[in-house]
Structure 1
Amino acid sequence: EQNLTHDELHNDLEHLLDELTSREAAVLRRRFGLEDDTPQTLAQIGEELKLSRERVRQIETRALLKLRQPQRRSKVRDYIQGLDS
């Protein structure tokens, strides 16, 4: 059951990331280790994407703001509440 819940979260996160630009999604995937379970620093991501650390931070901030919009937050909140029950 734990694996099923993890898979559901992964699918939900992918749907949320699909609503971002490809660059925003790539930054968040790397930053939070969603591709290989190894979170990367802003500097590491910047080096890979040929961007400054500051530019990566700006992209990350903009992407997180988009994901915090109420219509998107409810999907993640529903998942978390399901874990508690």
Structure 2
Amino acid sequence: MPTAVLSIDSGNAGTVASAIGPEARRDLLRTHVDVSLEDGKAVIRIEADDSSAMRAALNSYLECIMITENIDRITKGSK
């Protein structure tokens, strides 16, 4: 079973973890995801039944992380 661990160590790791948390609670076929905040880092653990499911999950979560980081950067820049 393929497994991946993404660790986001940035000033907004808490924001990333809370934004992605609801996505991890969705029931997805062939994929299990756990999101936690550990030592100030957002940690996303992904287990998939096969490489296709892993690729899809990684693409989805990496895009969510990118969007969250961009929104945080934009909102902080507008103050």
Q: How high is the TM-score relative to the length of structure 1?
A: 0.39
Larger helix share, 1 or 2: 1
Structure number, greater radius of gyration: 1
